[in-house]
Structure 1
Amino acid sequence: MIAQAPPERSTALCTYPDGSTMDDAKTARPADGKLVVFFDIDNCLYSKDAGVAEMMKGKIRAYFRRLGLSDEEAKDLHSHYYREYGLAIRGLVRHHAVDALDYDKHCDAALPLDEVLKDDPRLRKLLSDIDRDKCHVWALTNAYKIHATRVLKLLGIADQFEGVISCDYGAGEFSCKPEAAFFLDALEHVSTPPPPASSLYFVDDSALNVRGAHALGWRHCVLFDEGGAEEGRLGGLDKVPGSPPATGTADGDAGGGAAEGSPQVSVVHDLEELRSLWREIFKTSEPNGSTAAAA
């Protein structure tokens, strides 16, 4: 097999809460100096215990078999394409002339998500406690927009995001995390000019994706390692503690971890840990129960 050349730039798709997408008639908002927080979606905003990954794996391998592959070939190619391209569909597009939208129709869009994903009040509270006077909050996913927006709605948190940046399956060849083109295009969707790396916060359940963002200098990268099996894939990246001590600096540096001002990588096993790790982006609770912006 000879892989086709990757696209020269990303074809990331930006979808807004009203369902519209960024096109020639809609451009990114002017930069305003706020921090930008990116959340991955699948296996990050919901637990792996929901079983979505296993359901998705079954649909994907069934699609491989539709191409005339045996069960063993489907298993091997699925794993190979995921490792090689970040998404199985990219391997299918490059080597099997598969229509990515047809793939999505039979795989992601065919998942019975409404049977396993429900409103998550705890997650909604976490997201709503992010200080929007200081931050913009976006979803950043390798899924197509239909699946991404569907998950957010089922979790009851769609309104907590200013938009969803996803892969554009309709573009044929496209980039995805952890490729630099995808990350850089995502920033172009957020503002004009794009926000600086020093203002970026990112959480993902894939060590590979975290490494990709860290390599670009994204300031605060977090690996959500729910099961504890992913951290080893961060390689030799220096990690700061998941819960900085009270003596940490005002911008969340832990002291004794990464050098102040350098890109940081942390590992959490529960998204609630972000409250202590990223104190500066959350509103604080007053004794009377009201909230106020963190200093």
Structure 2
Amino acid sequence: MGDNKDDRLIVWFDIDNTLYSASSKISQAMGERIHAYFVSLGFSHEEASELHLRYYTQYGLALRGLTRHHDVDPLDFDRKCDGALPLEEMIKPNPRLRKLFQDIDRTKVRVWALTNAYKLHAERVLRILQLDDLVDGLVYCDYAEPNFSCKPEPEYYVKALEKAGVTDPSKCYFVDDNRGNVQAAMRLGWGHCVHFSEHGLEIVEGGRVKQIDNENLAGPKVIGDDNVQVITDLEQLRHVWPEIFKKEI
């Protein structure tokens, strides 16, 4: 995947809780498996909850803390957490989303996925959603790599640009359901960043249930001092980024 000599614009889509709705409860199911993994290491339920939240908050990914502080095999973690999810029962193809991807003008734009998951999980989700043939490249957390990086660490974004052959970050378009990940990309000069947030739905961050609430957003808006644009439906990208879509005849 990918062409290091390609100078088209590039759109980066996060995968989990972005390409499918948080209502699928995948994050909750994942949180339960991660909690069970902490407990299997000998932690009490209270300690497991505390460490899960601390590592997620500190590193952006609970597994980063586990590998740094508890000598955990990340591939074992992946098999028992991401790999154990019954994804085929939880998400289905979305024709509307596929049409959105198809309507991106490929003469001007490349489409890549940018995820904190491992390759196997990312490819599995894209395949189930029937988007795998519309994604040109994938940047993921390489659990086989010692001291791997993840969003929102700057090293992760630098690695993504290198893998995609991007020399000008202002050509990057990026959408993610995690505001911190979007802010990190903006600090590195990524030109067009959007926070995807489904109003009123619950997600799990760091093992804790969190209510998504962006002041009853009805459409794309800029929220907060960081000037992050927020959308509640990926279809709104047609209005936020009209230049990347094919012109209607």
- TM-score, normalising length from structure 1? 0.76
For residues 237 and 172 of structure 1, what CA distance do their matches in structure 2 show?
Answer: 33
- Where structure 1 has 5 or more consecutive residues not aligned to the other structure, the ranges are 1-15, 17-27, 239-264, 287-295
Question: Which residue is equivalent to 1:201?
Answer: 173
The reply on whether 1:137 has 2:126 as its aligned counterpart is no
Structure number with bigger Rg: 1
Q: Cα RMSD between the aligned structures? A: 1.5
Contact 2:199 2:214 in 1 (8 A): no
Q: Secondary structure at the match of 2:72?
A: coil
Contact 1:99 1:172 in 2 (8 A): no
Q: Secondary structure at the match of 1:148?
A: helix
Instruction: Specify the code of the residue in structure 2 equivalent to 1:269.
Output: T
Identify, as 1 or 2, the structure richer in helix. 2
For residues 42 and 30 of structure 1, what CA distance do their matches in structure 2 show?
Answer: 26
Question: Which residue is equivalent to 1:236?
Answer: 225
Once the two structures are aligned, what percentage of the paired residues are identical? 52
For residues 174 and 270 of structure 1, what CA distance do their matches in structure 2 show?
Answer: 31
Deviations 1:117-165 (A, max 9, x none): 1111110000110000000100000000000000001111111101111
Contact 1:137 1:162 in 2 (8 A): yes
1 or 2 for the larger relative contact order (CA 8 Å, sep ≥6)? 2
Q: Secondary structure at the match of 1:139?
A: strand
Shift of 1:56: 0.2
Shift of 1:70: 1.0
2:192 to 209, 220, 238: 220
Shift of 1:230: 6.4
Shift of 1:198: 1.5
Paired residues, number: 231
Question: Which residue is equivalent to 2:127?
Answer: 153
For residues 224 and 101 of structure 1, what CA distance do their matches in structure 2 show?
Answer: 29
The reply on whether 1:272 has 2:249 as its aligned counterpart is no
Q: Kindly report structure 1 stretches of 4+ aligned residues shifted beyond 4 Å.
A: none
For residues 143 and 235 of structure 1, what CA distance do their matches in structure 2 show?
Answer: 28
Q: Secondary structure at the match of 2:193?
A: strand
- Where structure 2 has 5 or more consecutive residues not aligned to the other structure, the ranges are 201-211, 216-222
Question: Which residue is equivalent to 1:88?
Answer: 62
For residues 41 and 115 of structure 1, what CA distance do their matches in structure 2 show?
Answer: 17
Instruction: Specify the code of the residue in structure 1 equivalent to 2:133.
Output: D
For residues 119 and 160 of structure 1, what CA distance do their matches in structure 2 show?
Answer: 13
Question: Which residue is equivalent to 1:165?
Answer: 139
Deviations 1:43-94 (A, max 9, x none): 0000000010000000000000000111111111111100011110111111
Question: Which residue is equivalent to 1:43?
Answer: 17
Contact 1:31 1:195 in 2 (8 A): no
Q: Secondary structure at the match of 2:140?
A: strand
Instruction: Specify the code of the residue in structure 2 equivalent to 1:101.
Output: L
